[in-house]
Amino acid sequence: MSIDWETELLQPAFDSLAVDVTYYQESGFPPIELRAIDKTSGVELMERGASIGTVMPAACFLLSELSAAGVDPHEMNGGTLVMNGLNWRIDNKYKRPSPEHSMETVGQLYVALTQIKD
């Protein structure tokens, strides 16, 4: 019997840890209300092929929720998030697919952030 990572592990974590965020696409489309886990205290993110990660502020999304909201993860760089009252620019993205899937809509997406100061 295999584990359904999305249903049994990821979704319950998001249900208890995620906060509401507003996502503004770079191209000026209307804002989109989403949920993400706030990792702005820092998380280690590895560049493809790198052996040493970098600790940086991030937000973690479920790929299935992005897909349901019509958000294309490939288009998120340069966008803005409002999370917990602060504005953040999306600098890069890192997919963490579920172990059982390599599909575009299953697993997590971490976005690296830079705080926008007024």
Instruction: Please give the pLDDT value at position 44.
Output: 76
Average pLDDT, the chain: 84
Q: What is the pLDDT of residues 20-77, one digit of tens each?
A: 999 999 776 899 999 999 999 988 766 666 655 677 899 999 998 999 999 999 899 9
Whole-Å CA distances, 65 to 2, 38, 71, 73, 91: 22, 16, 9, 11, 20
pTM over 0.75: yes
